[in-house]
Amino acid sequence: QSVLTQPPSASGTPGQRVTISCSGSSSNIGSNYVYWYQQLPGTAPKLLIYRNNQRPSGVPDRFSGSKSGTSASLAISGLRSEDEADYYCAAWDDSLSGGLFGGGTKLTVL
Amino acid sequence: QVQLVQSGAEVKKPGSSVKVSCKASGGTFSSYAISWVRQAPGQGLEWMGGIIPIFGTANYAQKFQGRVTITADESTSTAYMELSSLRSEDTAVYYCARVRYSSSFQLTLECDYWGQGTLVTVSS
């Protein structure tokens, strides 16, 4: 069981807005940046959000990240079929002196 | 264009070791760190550790302490991950990733470029 907790699944219809949560603790999310990754089937993960809410060049502004206390969220607006993928949150943990990934959320576009 | 190219798939016996390489091109190798992340079949991502090549000191996840060694060769822009005492649970795809380190020279999880992954199968 991951220290960063994500719902195992989420779903939405095209055009809808969905959010994926990531719950941690004071030693990880509470005191460090949160990152979000998208992984399409059979491919390497792709950086989607860095430093809580920053988007790398090329990532559509439909994707946004936020953080409050020991939790973080990824929001996807204007959902598209190509957004169907696994999404992972990640954060450094000061107590473990190491990196952590959430368990992942499988997003289905209905 | 930044590229990370990993070595090919491996099949190993339980108790043996595996060493996976990750050659970087298209960027300044010494300006970034390299981390290793693995993914068991059907499972999530797991951070194993990382290294800042200009310092040469690696940081490992507690789970892998004593079993993993991460090194980097600046002269060839190549990073390596060696995992020993392999068991069936180590069967996974192993990824290297280029990582930005903080202003205080600490590893982060800002992995902006990834290798293609290397499948390591541990089986008797």
The answer to whether the CB atoms of A35 and B109 lie below 8 A apart is yes
The answer to whether the CB atoms of B61 and A99 lie below 8 A apart is yes
CA distance B61 to B119: 20
Residues lower than pLDDT 50 in chain A: none
Name residue B96's beta-bridge partners: B36
pLDDT tens-place string over residues A27-48: 999 999 999 999 999 999 999 9
For residue B17, the distance in angstroms to the closest alpha carbon of chain A comes to 23
The pLDDT value recorded for residue A1 is: 59
Amino acid identity of residue B56, one-letter, is: G
Residue A86: list chain B partners with CB under 8 A. 44
- Per-residue pLDDT for B103 more than 90? no
For residue B102, the distance in angstroms to the closest alpha carbon of chain A comes to 11
Amino acid identity of residue B102, one-letter, is: S
CA distance B117 to A98: 21
The residue of chain A nearest to residue B94, with distances taken between CA atoms, is A44
Among the partner-chain residues B44, B49, B114, the one whose CB lies closest to the CB of A101 is B44
pLDDT tens-place string over residues B25-50: 998 888 899 999 999 999 999 999 99
The pLDDT value recorded for residue B104 is: 81
Answer whether A52's CB lies under 8 Å from A65's CB.
yes
Strand order across the A71-76 sheet? A18-23, A71-76, A63-68
CA distance B8 to B31: 26
* A47 touching chain B per CB within 8 A: yes
For residue B15, the distance in angstroms to the closest alpha carbon of chain A comes to 26
